[in-house]
Each structure stands twice: as structure tokens, then as C-alpha cells.
Amino acid sequence: MSDISQALLRTRVIDSNRERKEKGLLRTRTKVTLDPEHTNSFEVDDLPYINFSSNDYLGLSRSDTVIDALQKGAQAFGVGSASSPLVVGYSQTHQQLEQVLCQATGHQSALLFSSGFCANNALMKTLFKHGDTVLADKLVHASVIDGLQDSGATLKRFIHNDVEAAAQHITKLAPCALVTESVFSMDGDIAPLVELSSLCQQHGMWLIVDDAHGFGVIGENGLGATALNGNIKIDAQVVTFGKALGGQGAAILGSHELIDYLVAHARHYIYSTALSPANAVAVRAAVDAIVKQPSLNEQLKQNIACFITACKAKNIRLTGSTTAIQPIIIGDSASTLAIAKRLKEHGFWVGAMRPPTVAQGSARLRVTLTTAHCTDDINAFVAVLADILQDA
């Protein structure tokens, strides 16, 4: 590399970091020390915090049953798969998890990935190509957007959760598929899946649903988008294991033909080491727990209701979300960071979401509720938050 090239790259890195820092948008990592006794708390620099930013909605990452399954899986099959799925990395544990997921969702076939980002990206990048038009909700995840851009397809986006706007785009553009989330990760609202499914069936389009934040907590028995009331036909569904299931990895679910096509063409799948077999065993146990322990979802619903009630009593404006994701819109990035910092000074850890993760002017606290929270935690947090917002 020439001196000029090195200087250019150094300048690019330094200037970008400086610019983002000045705008309050520079992302950094935080090393936490987990508390083995309390599932919703941790320490940072020896200071304890109650965690209101976790996606472990049902507390299954600390479930004795799931942990035992992971340990037994590791003892039986090792801690890694040792190769890609198309070499010798695909085992009976992977196949069994795929079968369990198909039984839970009603799909014919499934394909496992090591993360939800990879699964979404692979599906979009592999399924679509130049000349296709794909319609997506304005707020779909970055992994969907990146995959569609890489595919060469034309991406058009409709107003968030607006079925009429989607219908107008369909009439004008005749897209081949519509992509949405079930529960939106930053807003916590639920897509009108019944109406969108009907619209897609009417126009002969595919409906693709990113069910990352829905599977485990919405639908009958918590089994996600396909288990919601109503006639919902989903052609491809992405389920991630790192949210309500408390594990790691993801799956694409669909027809035999779709999965066969992805096995043959999806570079993310072909050239990546397969999901750990021990993780597959643990996720299978987590799915089983969701079905057999409805009390988990009942506890989560109670905690969500407790939070909403407490916020109303303190005149804290919420967005109307009924899920575990409860955004509190602040607007300005600097103010959002300042409020999150003050909450940490009182022992509460909350995510401060800023652009480009959310739209300009909509920076927010992303409060997430889990089964691990108790009423005292929630009420104490809301009381402190109300005082801080009043001073802001």
C-alpha cells in the first residue's frame, strides 16, 4: 500500500470517529460483569445496575433447563461444529432443531444460521436479483436493507405499518415480495400481518416476516407470527434465537423448495462454520420451555402492564406499544445520552438509541421489560425516570 493510500485510510478513520463523537453518535463497547445470582443485573466498573436494555424477554438465557441442555449438548457433541454445514458441520442436533421450529410455525423446512443478521442478509441477497422490485416497511432492520441493496433488486419502502400505503405501492410497482417485521425492534409495535398477508395473496406476492422480536412472545403459545389470530400466510419467516429464546443463532423457515435453493446458493450458509450443535440443543430446550411454561409469557405481560400503568401515573408519554419494547422518544441525541447517563447514576441501565439506528429527530430510550424484573424494580425505575424527565 502506498503512503498516499495509508494516509487516506488513516484520515478517513480519524475524521469519521471525530465527526461521530462530536454528534454523540460514536458507538463504543461496554464490558459488563454478569451477576450469577440476579438475571436482570450486572456490574460495570464495579458499579451495579438493573438492566432495562436486554432482549432476553423470558429470561431463558439463565433458565436451568436451557443451561442444562447446553451443557449436555456440549458434552455429547462438543462446543463447535468444526466445519461448514455442507462439509461435516450439519448434525442430527441441527436437523432436530429445524424439525422443532417447523412444527412450531407450520413451515415445511428450515435452515440454521449463526446470527439473525446473517439469516436476513442471506435471504435477501440470495433470493432477489437485479430486475426484481421488493417492497419493505420503512422501519425494517438494517440486515434486510443491506441484503436487498447487495442483491441488486429495487427497494421501495412504504410508510410504517400503513396497509393503504403498501397497497398503493403495489398497484404502481407490482413488486414480487413484501418484507416486514412482526414486532419492530425500536418501536415495539406489531405489524398488521393479517392485512398484509391478505394483500400479498391478492396480488400474488411473497410475504417475508422478520420475526426476531416476535417469536417466543406473540401468537398462541408464544409461537410467533404464524400463530397470531387470523389467516396469515408467510412465505419466508426469520426466527432468531438471541431474543426471547435466550440463545444464539437464527433460522429461515419456508417451503422445501426455498430451503433447497438457499442451501445451494446462500454464500453466508455455504462458507460459514455451522451453528454450534450445543447451541442447537439449547435452543430446542428453549422452544420447548415456551410451549410448556405459559407462565413465562404471563409474567412478562404483567411486567409490561405494570410499567405502562406506572408511566401513566407519572405522566410519562409512551408510544402505545403493548410489547416488551417500550420506547420513550426524546428527540435529540445529546439529550437522550444525558438522560441515559443520569439513569445509570441511579443504577438503571437503559439503551440510548440514536441515528442511524433510528430516524433523525427520534432518538429515544429503548426500555425493555423481561420476566426477571419485579414490581419494585419497575416502580423504582419509573419514579427516577419521571424526575429526570421533569428536569430535562
Pick the catalytic residue from 137, 187, 189, 210.
210
Q: In whole angstroms, what separates CA 186 from the centre of its chain?
A: 9
- Of 12-16, 62-66, 239-243, the one with minimum mean pLDDT is 12-16
**pTM of the full predicted structure?**
0.93
Kindly tell me if the per-residue pLDDT of 270 is higher than 80: yes
* pLDDT computed for residue 46 by the predictor: 82
pLDDT for res 282? 98
Choosing from 181, 187, 211, 377, the catalytic residue is: 181
Is 213 considered catalytic here? Answer: yes
Distance of CA 131 to the CA centre of its chain: 29
Does the pLDDT value for residue 20 go beyond 90?
no
Which residue is catalytic, options 94, 125, 169, 213? Answer: 213
How many whole angstroms separate alpha carbon 241 and alpha carbon 296?
A: 17
CATH of the domain spanning 24-53+294-391: 3.90.1150.10
Enter the CATH code of domain 63-292: 3.40.640.10
pLDDT over 90 (residue 373): yes
181 in active site: yes
Residues 299-304, mean pLDDT to the nearest whole number: 98
**Catalytic residue from among 107, 169, 243, 268:** 243
**What pLDDT is attached to residue 226?**
95
Q: Which of 40, 51, 54, 55 is catalytic?
A: 55
Give the residue-averaged pLDDT of 306-320: 97
Mean pLDDT of 278-291: 97
Does residue 231 have an active-site annotation? no
Question: Is 185 labeled as catalytic in the residue annotation?
Answer: yes
Q: Report which of 206, 288, 283, 289 is spatially closest to residue 250, judged by C-alpha positions.
A: 283
With contact defined as beta carbons under 8 Å apart, do 133 and 153 qualify? yes
Outline which parts of the chain fall under CATH 3.90.1150.10. 24-53+294-391
What is the DSSP track for 319-370?
----SSEEEEEEE-HHHHHHHHHHHHHTTEE-EEE-TTTS-TT-EEEEEE--
Range(s) for CATH 3.40.640.10 in the chain?
Answer: 63-292
Nearest CA to 176 out of 146, 148, 204, 151 is that of 204
Burial of 379 (0-12, 13-18, 19+ CB in 10 A): middle
Which residue bears the cell 441441527?
94
CA of 52: how far to CAs of 256, 303, 334, 343, 377, in Å? 40, 12, 20, 11, 10
- Residue 31, pLDDT > 90, answer no
- Residue 290: which pLDDT band, with cuts at 50, 70 and 90? very high
Say if residues 308 and 324 touch (Cβ distance below 8 Å).
no
pLDDT of residue 81: 95
The C-alpha cell that represents 23 in the structure block: 454528534
Residue tagged active-site, from 141, 169, 268, 373: 141
Residue 210 known to be catalytic: yes
Contact predicate 284/239, CB 8 Å: no
Of the residues 63, 185, 276, 303, only one is catalytic, namely: 185
141 is catalytic: yes
Task: Considering only residues 1 and 95, tell me which one the structure prediction assigns the higher pLDDT.
Answer: 95
The C-alpha cell at 232 is: 396469515
Place 1 in a pLDDT band, splitting at 50, 70 and 90: low
**pLDDT for 163-174, tens place per residue?**
999 999 999 999
